Homo-oligomer: A and B are copies of this chain.
Amino acid sequence: MFHPDLALPVACSIAELRDRVSEWRRMNLRIGLVPTMGALHEGHLALVKQALESCDRVLASIFVNPAQFAPDEDFDAYPRTLESDTEKLTTAHAHLVYVPNHREMYPEGFVTTVSMAGPALGLESETRPHFFTGVATVISKLLIQVMPDLAVFGEKDYQQLMVIRQLARDLDLPVEVAAGRTVRETDGLALSSRNVYLSAEERTRAAKLNVILKEFADALHQGAPVAEAQAQARHQAEQTFDHVDYIVVRDAEMLNPLPSGPLKCEARVLAAIKLGKTRLIDNMAAPKA
């Protein structure tokens, strides 16, 4: 189970994982999980750090989940950087990395899907209808495999965070689902494993996304009507990016659309845009006035 050339123990199978986790469980330790698809950046490491604040042991999982990619998406191209990921997790003081292979997660004859309505409807699901079924299925499996006390998910994928919170509630998984703050470049671009796809010119334009969202959230906070602020944000986004999937404000909890007037509840502005072939998402809190 311990790869001598790596500083961090690696579990490749559910059995290895459970051996390690049940040892911790017997020691009555609090266990944190940070599920990732690898290609780790400071955003992921901040989640590990956050988990370490309240947990005795923290493990990160790395699994590029085919079920959450459509055939025309970037599953094959998705960056895979296991060696440097493991180094980063070692430096971040994680205690274990769990790297199941495809056959371990989806053995022959696998036929089960976990699907969700509620916060999973709309937004990402509009253009990626397969996405949250893929996420809910793999996260159900990971949470059942590890049975952590805490699981930390980045707010950068805000809808996913809400979906997973609902999933844990609905399936009675005894886990606290914590939100990790979005880590940004100095120009405000949210860190993402997909940022590596951007050309230099696209990278410059990409930084506008958080600026437009910030102005959108500020306008709402200052009492601008939802319909107006949203139209303005969309106009700006369309002028800046090659395609706009959505740029909207929703209630912060269930992600329901809001009435067209001024904000009356805690809200969230969310956007998905494209630069060339690269799709980026970002979001921010829009506190009511």
> A176–B170 Cα gap in the complex (Å)?
23
Q: Which residues of B contact A204 (CB under 8 A)?
A: none
Interface set, chain A 84-136, CB cutoff 8 A to B: 107, 109-120, 136
Q: Is A171 interfacial (CB-CB < 8 Å)?
A: yes
Contact of B18 with A174 in the complex, beta carbons under 8 Å: yes
Q: A9 CB to closest chain B CB, in angstroms?
A: 20
Cα–Cα distance between A144 and B143 once the two chains are bound (Å): 10
Contact residue among B114, B144, B145, B147 (Cβ-Cβ distance under 8 Å from A112)? B114
Q: Which residues from B are CB-within-8-Å of A173? A: 144
B112 engages A167 (CB within 8 Å): yes
Could you tell me if A116 and B120 are in contact, using CB atoms closer than 8 angstroms? no
Give CA–CA (A111, B163) in the complex, Å: 10
Chain B proximity mask over A128-172: 1 for CB below 8 Å, otherwise 0 = 000000001000110011010000000000000000001101111
Q: What separation, in Å, do the CA atoms of A117 and B115 have in the docked complex?
A: 14
Q: Is B172 within 8 A of A144, CB to CB?
A: yes
Q: Is the CB of A171 within 8 A of B141?
A: yes
CB <8 Å contact, B113 and A118: no
- Closest chain B CB from A16 CB (angstroms): 13
Please, how many angstroms separate the alpha-carbon atoms of A140 and B119 in the complex? 21
Query: Is A280 among interface residues, defined by CB-CB distance under 8 A?
Result: no
CA of A224 to CA of B116, assembled, Å: 47
- Whether B115 lies near A109 (C-beta < 8 A) is no
Q: Which residue of B lies closest to A18 (CB)?
A: B174
Task: Check if A172 sits within 8 Å of B141, measured CB to CB.
Answer: yes
Can you list 17 residue pairs at the A/B interface with Cβ under 8 Å?
A14-B172, A107-B169, A109-B169, A109-B254, A111-B116, A111-B117, A112-B115, A112-B116, A112-B167, A113-B115, A113-B116, A140-B171, A141-B170, A141-B171, A144-B171, A144-B172, A147-B147
Please give the residue numbers on chain A whose beta carbons come within 8 Å of chain B beta carbons, in ascending order.
14, 18, 107, 109-120, 136, 140-141, 144-145, 147, 166-167, 169-174, 254
Given contacts A111-B118, A112-B170, 16 further A-B contacts (CB under 8 A): A14-B172, A18-B174, A107-B169, A109-B118, A109-B166, A109-B254, A111-B117, A111-B119, A111-B120, A111-B166, A112-B114, A113-B114, A140-B171, A144-B171, A144-B172, A144-B173
